[in-house]
Amino acid sequence: MTQPISPELRAWVVAQLAIGHSPPALRISMRDAGWQDDAAEAALVEIQALAGGVLGEVGSADDMPKALPGPNLEGSPLHVDAGDRQVQVMQTMRHPRVVVFGNLLSQEECNELIAIARARLVRSLTVETQTGGEVMNVDRTSDGMFFERGENEIVARLERRIAKLLQWPLEFGEGLQVLRYSPGAQYRPHYDYFDPSEPGTPTILRRGGQRVGTLLMYLQAPEQGGATTFPDVGLEVAPLPGTGVFFSYDRPDPATRTLHGGAPVLAGEKWVATKWLREREFT
């Protein structure tokens, strides 16, 4: 089945490819716009072939910077349009790429997520990289749970907001994770990407490739402690409800300087929701 390729569509595809968006990301955007998968594929192949000369001038896929999730910060905006909300840009860092957001969630949204998640909390597991399975881990002493993607109205709404804010297809995101840290609980410094040298990593990567970005959304502040820390660059982000911190990593390597941890909660309870973003559609 084919659908007509308008000049506008052709220009859009060429521009998206030239700024580094991957064909899989374009396929998802086209699906969202109502294109059949096979028609989108045929149109992309045709446009890429027609645009070969243009793309050739900006370099091959190998020497183009890898497309990563992230807000459009061109012109140093104070707010970014996230569809149903104007999200504040509070602080940015280039290397590592870190962006601190305000007004990311309303107080009602924080409360609702906590209320739904509370009933389903279990002691957190982390992916066991030897096998690709999951195990209890002393490095993470919080309790947690996962939502399925699109599981309910609030989760679906947040996923749409995140996809727009970070310019990354909703389908490339893992299900939202919610964590509760009681006094003494912490998440020791770690990287969120999967270590390529671990034997279980190829199994994990089959579901959507590497993680390339993390958005932590704070739902409840503890009374003391509980900052998210980036030890390589001496950055600490206060876990204020409704705010969040995003960071991206273009390769699974410490050179990204994305080592980060959740400092011990000293008093009260900290609640946070995590959205991890993959290279491709997460299945």
Does the protein bind Zn ion through residue 140 (CB under 5 A)? no
Strand order in the sheet with 122-123: 79-81, 86-93, 98-102, 244-248, 211-220, 270-278, 177-181, 143-146, 122-123
Structure tokens at 152: 């309910």
45: three-class secondary structure by DSSP: helix
Shortest Å, Cβ 275 to ligand PD2? 9
- In this complex, which beta carbon is closest to ligand PD2, that of residue 9 or of residue 68? 68
Residue nearest to Zn ion (CB): 192
Q: Locate tokens 């660059």: which residue?
A: 233
102: phi then psi, degrees, rounded to nearest 5: -115, 165
Shortest Å, Cβ 224 to ligand PD2? 14
Residue 179 partner contact from Zn ion, ligand PD2, none using kind-dependent CB cut-offs of 5 to 8 Å: ligand PD2
Are the beta carbons of 176 and 273 closer than 8 angstroms? yes
Interface with ligand PD2 (CB under 6 A)? 179, 187, 192, 214, 216, 228, 260-262, 272, 274
Q: Which amino acid is at 21?
A: H
Are the beta carbons of 174 and 275 closer than 8 angstroms? yes
Does the protein bind Zn ion through residue 192 (CB under 5 A)? yes
> With CB under 5 A as the contact rule, which of the stretches 28-36, 150-158, 190-198, 241-249 interacts with Zn ion?
190-198
Helical (H) or strand (E) element with 198: none
- In this complex, which beta carbon is closest to ligand PD2, that of residue 169 or of residue 239? 239
Cis, peptide link before residue 254, omega less than 30° from 0: no
Residue 272 partner contact from ligand PD2, Zn ion, none using kind-dependent CB cut-offs of 5 to 8 Å: ligand PD2
> With CB under 5 A as the contact rule, which of the stretches 107-115, 186-194, 223-231, 265-273 interacts with Zn ion?
186-194
Shortest Å, Cβ 237 to ligand PD2? 8
Interface positions with Zn ion (CB under 5 A): 192
